[in-house]
Amino acid sequence: MLDETTNLKSMLRRPDLVCDAAFVGGEWKQAASGATFAVMNPARGDVIAHVPDLSRAEVAQAIDAAQKAQKPWAALAAKDRAKVLRKWYDLMMENQEDLAIIMTSEQGKPLAEARGEVAYGASFVEWFGEEAKRVYGQTILGHMADKRIAVIKQPIGVAAGITPWNFPNAMIARKVAPALAAGCAFVVRPASLTPLSALAMAKLAEEAGVPKGLFSVVTSNSASEIGKEFCENPIVRKLTFTGSTEVGRILLKQAADQVMKCSMELGGNAPFIVFDDADLDAAVEGAIACKFRNNGQTCVCANRIYVQKGVYDAFAAKLKVAVEKLRVGDGLADGTTLGPLIEPAAIKKVQEHLDDALSKGGKVLTGGKVHDLGGQFFEPTIVTHATKDMLVSTDETFGPFAPLFMFEDEDDVIFQANDTIFGLASYFYAKDLSRVTRVAEALEYGIVGVNTGLISTEVAPFGGVKQSGLGREGSSHGMDDYMEMKYICTGI
Ligand SMILES: NC(=O)C1=CN([C@@H]2O[C@H](COP(=O)(O)OP(=O)(O)OC[C@H]3O[C@@H](n4cnc5c(N)ncnc54)[C@H](OP(=O)(O)O)[C@@H]3O)[C@@H](O)[C@H]2O)C=CC1
Ligand SMILES: O=C(O)[C@H](O)CS(=O)(=O)O
């Protein structure tokens, strides 16, 4: 019998990677209530699957199973944990195409970007499989002749994660990989808009030999209820969240009651600065990559583009040419470079920022309206004459809208770039070495891209300052958030 998943499954080498059950304590389960929620294809507007809408009590069962599985997992030699992660990495890459098709079908990004995200997510599993073997302690010369001091690092225990829809694979991998590498157990609640990628990852984790109960994917349409379970359940020792600053604040307040260790990867408002000594062609290439990746739906997208007065018109003209080469369409169609926005509310927000900018003197250079394809497709848009009193100057657009601000000098643009509550990613193009050093040090951000618009990698510490978050993900620092440091003082 044909069902709603037939079309998606027909595109896959492994149709079994489309999972319509939640992965709870090592079992594939429906909600006891039978409740489910629909997963939509944002390009086509059709339902591609239904997944269980688990209750808070059923999520608690996943947490119980995690607690049971964690101690034996932590007792394994790091090398043995590493082998399982390596196998999981291998399976993710062997099934990269299927995972990408599933991702594009539920999130909308072009297939080429989805393939890239699968490889990016898998790179965290590979990286932390290696880092698992490199957890080091310390010995310290005793403060008294009869004392010996050692410092060791131990896994924190059961970790819980809540992830967004914009990178439905990589944002989970960036959390579960260091957690398992450190010897923790992990329960994740993926965004309700994009649960299929997470469930497919769980399927491959099971095949890789991740022990029953160690990793659960709890699907739910009630984010706040599950968030409360994660924050209030005494078994959970660590909460990791990627999403908006607004929700991050809610979770931090809820987690405070248990003084829970939290990692927060939150909102951004990235400045992208083009100085008059920049290579303008390189800057345009970087702006396209940085602004329009995932259709502008990333926390590290350029949200404000500042161009020095002397090169403003030349840069704007070059950027217009590049933007008009972008192809809007279904992410599964060949040649698409911009997919749909994730949901109607996202279209509304882009339109709101555009209307506000035009009402305050902005001028459309290209784009400027919902695409002829209708639905959730929007034309990639450049607006010139942007000013700091516009909404786009303070709020994250999260869409294909590029406002060009003009600036006079370095001090002026540094002040404007830093004038935000956010501090995640920032970018600038310049050649003068002294200027590059000064500006990189002056920008109040966790990440600075110099002459590049792409900074995402598993080998570097990703995270923000100010209200863009707490902690770092990826790099040799990435496991610290899943471990506790213990100081042992021995009298002899
Ligand atoms: N710093 C970073 O690395 C990243 C930051 N972001 C930021 O997130 C925003 C876009 O992502 P978006 O998904 O809309 O962000 P949201 O913060 O709305 O949602 C993120 C996740 O949190 C869940 N959630 C929402 N409300 C609550 C709650 N009260 N308690 C517990 N969980 C909750 C959502 O569930 P559901 O969707 O099912 O409602 C989703 O799974 C942007 O601001 C972007 O900058 C996004 C990705 C990466
Ligand atoms: O969700 C996001 O925006 C990601 O954190 C950005 S990245 O890590 O893919 O650059």
pLDDT tens per residue across span 155-173: 999 999 999 999 999 999 9
The helix/strand/coil state of 394 is helix
- Residues 6+ positions from 11 with CB-CB distance below 8 Å: 101, 332
- How far apart are the CA of 225 and the centre of ligand 1, in A? 14
Query: Ligand 2 test: best mutation among 109, 123, 167, most atoms within 8 Å of CB?
Result: 167
Say whether 265 is catalytic.
yes
- Assess whether pLDDT exceeds 60 at residue 1: no
- How far apart are the CA of 109 and the centre of ligand 2, in A? 13
Question: How far is 131 from 473, CA to CA, in rounded Å?
Answer: 13
Query: Ligand 2 test: best mutation among 299, 452, 462, most atoms within 8 Å of CB?
Result: 299
- How far apart are the CA of 299 and the centre of ligand 2, in A? 6
Closest ligand 1 atom, residue 473 Cα: 3
- How far apart are the CA of 397 and the centre of ligand 2, in A? 15
pLDDT reported for residue 102 = 98
pLDDT reported for residue 3 = 86
pLDDT tens per residue across span 183-228: 999 999 999 999 999 999 999 999 999 999 999 999 999 999 999 9
pLDDT tens per residue across span 286-325: 999 999 999 999 999 999 999 999 999 999 999 999 999 9
3-state secondary structure 2-38: CCCCHHHHHCCCCHHHCCCCEEECCEEECCCCCCEEE
pLDDT tens per residue across span 324-335: 999 999 999 999
State the ligand closest to the CA atom of 301: 2
| Sheet hosting strand 469-470, strand order edge to edge | 27-29, 22-24, 215-217, 185-189, 158-162, 236-242, 261-265, 469-470
- Return the percentage of the chain with pLDDT > 90, whole number: 99
pLDDT tens per residue across span 114-157: 999 999 999 999 999 999 999 999 999 999 999 999 999 999 99
ipTM of the complex: 0.95
CB of 162 within 6 A of ligand 1: the answer is: yes
CB of 33 within 6 A of ligand 1: the answer is: no
Whether pTM exceeds 0.90: yes
- Assess whether pLDDT exceeds 70 at residue 110: yes
pLDDT tens per residue across span 250-284: 999 999 999 999 999 999 999 999 999 999 999 99
- Assess whether pLDDT exceeds 80 at residue 14: yes
For residue 437 the two structure tokens come to: 């050093």
pLDDT tens per residue across span 336-387: 999 999 999 999 999 999 999 999 999 999 999 999 999 999 999 999 999 9
Let me know if domain 270-450 sits in CATH 3.90.580.10.
no
pLDDT tens per residue across span 352-364: 999 999 999 999 9
Q: Where exactly are the structural domains of the chain?
A: 8-266+468-488, 270-450
State the ligand closest to the CA atom of 225: 1
Question: How far is 380 from 370, CA to CA, in rounded Å?
Answer: 9
pLDDT tens per residue across span 16-51: 999 999 999 999 999 999 999 999 999 999 999 999
Question: How far is 65 from 24, CA to CA, in rounded Å?
Answer: 8
- Assess whether pLDDT exceeds 80 at residue 89: yes
Question: How far is 450 from 426, CA to CA, in rounded Å?
Answer: 9
Question: How far is 190 from 213, CA to CA, in rounded Å?
Answer: 17
By residue count, the chain amounts to 492
pLDDT reported for residue 176 = 98
CATH topology of domain 8-266+468-488: Aldehyde Dehydrogenase; Chain A, domain 1 (3.40.605)
Element (H, E) at 460: none
Nearest-CA neighbor of 183 among 208, 160, 205, 214?
Answer: 214
- Assess whether pLDDT exceeds 80 at residue 2: no
The average confidence (pLDDT) of the chain is 98
The residue-averaged pLDDT of 62-73 equals 98
DSSP state of 462: B
113, 126, 265, 473: the active-site residue: 265
